[in-house]
């Protein structure tokens, strides 16, 4: 799955969890940029992304991404390995 396809999959998930239909995902987007993105919604985001893409994140992986771009890279790695 290429980067554009990953963003296409991620966008509705982020919009649904963060309750913002106008949210545009960019690689630099972080939790600091979205009021609703706190520790609690972060967990919902992780679980929703896992479900939407059929993948599973390890604790070490979850601790390493700081923005959407790093999340997308991690997903590309995981889908590439699959």
**Which CB, 7 or 57, lies closer to other proteins?**
57
Say which DSSP state 37 is in: -
Report the distance separating Cα 68 and Cα 25, nearest Å. Answer: 7
Please state the closest distance from residue 24 (CB atom) to other proteins, in A.
Answer: 16
Write phi, then psi, for 54 (nearest 5 degrees).
Answer: 65, 40
Q: How far is the CB of 4 from other proteins (least distance, A)?
A: 26
Judged by beta carbon, residue 29 or residue 65, the one nearer other proteins is 65
How far is 18 from 79, CA to CA, in rounded Å?
A: 24
Q: Find the shortest distance in angstroms from Cβ 18 to other proteins.
A: 9
- Closer residue to other proteins (CB): 5 or 47: 47
Question: Applying CB under 8 A, which residues contact other proteins?
Answer: 19-20, 35-36, 38-40, 42-43, 46-47, 57-64
Contact predicate 53/8, CB 8 Å: no
């Amino acid at each position: 799955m290429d980067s554009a396809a990953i963003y296409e999959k991620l966008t509705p998930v982020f919009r649904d969890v963060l309750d913002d239909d106008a949210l545009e995902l960019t690689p630099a987007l972080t939790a600091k940029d979205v009021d609703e993105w706190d520790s609690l919604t972060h967990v919902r985001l992780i679980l929703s992304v896992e479900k939407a893409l059929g993948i599973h994140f390890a604790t070490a992986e979850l601790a390493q991404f700081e923005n959407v771009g790093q999340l997308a890279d991690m997903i590309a790695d995981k889908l590439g390995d699959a």
